[in-house]
Structure 1
């Protein structure tokens, strides 16, 4: 009951930080990344994320690592990722359907032979996954990328790129190549929280050059001392 109350959403503005709610060891989450699940009232681990072994119930039912020696896919989420209501992150429980076989039916006797890894699903820092989007297994969504609402992402999304549609296709780059290179160098989402708070007025603007000047002046000298 306590867990249900903890995961319940009371308003569309209500969010849950993933660090506070994720218990599945197959999910790695960064700082301040959140899920906004009010309109679906799904738990993040058993609603947004689907077919991923490692939650309490699945661990009690079976253990494919020990039983079959499988290497299971993980879900890896960076810092400051925004995941909207209705998002589905499809994971590794459905890799036993083979379109190249005569039948796609997963006979129990063939489960051990039919499993096939898709690779880890990675949502890098500062990405935004829009409402009702679906992320297919093994996809890498780059830092600062935006997935439009209702999209079905079947292949990797480059950093700072907006994609949309079914299947999702590139709509546009958010910034120039030069600006993206500076953003990748700065990695603002890895700064200490106090440094981010001091720079929030720059992060909430469109001038990457101003943020880069701040980075050269305030952040990079500190990093060189480490």
Structure 2
């Protein structure tokens, strides 16, 4: 499992995983200045690895376990280009300009290498999961521990995903239920309203939907 994980990370990022996960390249999620986190989302020590200011957006009421790693890189892994190797950053580690005189940062910005991560609301991410650049995760998704979620992973609302790379294991609800829950979007309710209605969250979904499908704004 560990070997498979390391190999996949190497293939996706285009560099040795040990070079990618250097201590000076990460920041704790709660301290990352380029991350936007919705209300009541919590984490137990998640880490962000980044080399650019690519956005990481996390919705409301998400639960993120210890050891989750968000890899926000320059998207060499996904672009249809001549090479997946990060030539500029590795050949100009200490330089600010290319041989042509162009500013290194300006050049990287110009070729649009940044790939952000977008996570919906009410998402649960298990311990040790890797969330790779370019990933978009829907509402109500459950991600199994130690999964590697790549931009090629199909991550619909209210799905359970897992594996290396992560794939859909099952959809939690039928299409109509998913649609109704998204329309109700309870995560947009004021906190006090949620507290007033908190017992309803522990009833069956049909009862919850019938009660609030006409009261979607809280």
Q: In 2 relative to 1, CA 132–198 (structure 1 residues): closer, same or farther, beyond 3 Å?
A: same
1:197 aligns to what SS in structure 2? helix
1:132 to 128, 132, 151: 128
Tell me how far 1:196 sits from its aligned partner: 1.2
Query: Do structure 1's residue 87 and structure 2's residue 83 form an aligned pair?
Result: no
Quote the Cα distance in structure 2 between the aligned partners of 1:78 and 1:164.
20
Quote the Cα distance in structure 1 between the aligned partners of 2:135 and 2:51.
15
Q: TM-score normalised to the size of structure 2?
A: 0.69
Quote the Cα distance in structure 2 between the aligned partners of 1:203 and 1:122.
25
After the TM superposition, which residues 1-226 of structure 1 pair with which residues of structure 2 at under 5 Å, given as runs? 21-22=30-31, 24=33, 26-37=34-45, 44=46, 48-53=47-52, 72-92=53-73, 94-95=74-75, 100-101=81-82, 104=85, 105=87, 106-108=90-92, 109=98, 111-112=104-105, 113=107, 116-154=112-150, 155-205=153-203, 207-216=204-213, 219-220=215-216
1:126 aligns to what SS in structure 2? coil
Tell me how far 1:161 sits from its aligned partner: 0.4
Q: What per-residue deviation string (whole Å, max 9, x for no partner) do you get for residues 125-170 of structure 1? A: 1001110000000101100001100100013411100000001000
Tell me how far 1:208 sits from its aligned partner: 1.7
Number of aligned pairs?
A: 172
CA RMSD in angstroms comes to 2.6
**Structure 2: where are the runs of 5+ without partners?**
1-28, 93-97
Quote the Cα distance in structure 1 between the aligned partners of 2:58 and 2:50.
17
